Amino acid sequence: MSVDDKSQTPVPKPTVEELRAEIKQTRAELGETVQALAAKADVKARAKDQVEQTKQRVLDKVRSTADKVNQTGEEAVRTSPVPLQLVVAGVVAIVGVILIVRGRRR
């Protein structure tokens, strides 16, 4: 038995099984620490992760902006049908010009 320095009470020696369990736990903790350090040292993987995160943020922002634009456009068409009528008239005029030009070529 050994003596605890603070309380001067005897501390029982650990058994072989307790020592083995403690060694196993220490090895597991050491393995996790080594993996964490290796991940920090892997600059290429960290850069890829950062690129992926940035890409995802940009995509989310684009989707959000596209949704806002769609909503705004739909509201504009509902509140004022004149621009839609102008677009339709323009398309009809273009189709008419194309048909006239084709008719003259024949």
pTM value is 0.40
Averaged pLDDT score across all residues of the chain = 85
Under the banding of pLDDT at 50, 70 and 90, the label for residue 74 is: confident
Residues 6+ apart with CB under 8 A from 46: 39, 40
Phi and psi at residue 11, in whole multiples of 5°? Answer: -110, 125
